[in-house]
Amino acid sequence: MANRAMLLGIGSKEFDDNNDADIFAAGSYCIPLFWFTLYSPEDVVLKRIDMEDGTSEQCPTLIVESNAAKKRTAHCKIKLN
């Protein structure tokens, strides 16, 4: 499995494997620094990830509502459609 970071857009803050997601951007083996301008510390949530060996792990995940992300990017002079 490749190490990929993806910036996804979904219609709910409840992210799971059943959500249809729009991929806004993706990066291999990195997280582009400007993505962090979209988030605040309150946007870090723990999501349980099922591992291939049958166990599960808590994984910190960044989730923000699109209106808040657009407002933050406008403040930083970054535009997302």
Q: pLDDT per position in the chain (81 positions), as tens? A: 457 777 777 766 666 666 677 777 777 777 777 777 788 888 888 988 888 999 999 988 888 887 887 787 777 665 555
The position carrying tokens 């309150």 is: 42
Q: Is 13 among the domain residues?
A: yes
Number of domains in the chain: 1
User: Which H or E run includes 75?
Assistant: helix 66-75
Q: Is 47 among the domain residues?
A: yes
What is the Cα–Cα distance from 67 to 77, expressed in whole angstroms?
A: 15
pTM for the whole thing? 0.58
Q: Where are the beta strands (DSSP E) in the chain?
A: 4-9, 22-28, 44-50, 56-62
Structural domain span for residue 15: 4-75
Q: Is 55 among the domain residues?
A: yes
Q: Is 81 among the domain residues?
A: no
Q: Is 33 among the domain residues?
A: yes
The position carrying tokens 């959500």 is: 19
Q: Is 80 among the domain residues?
A: no
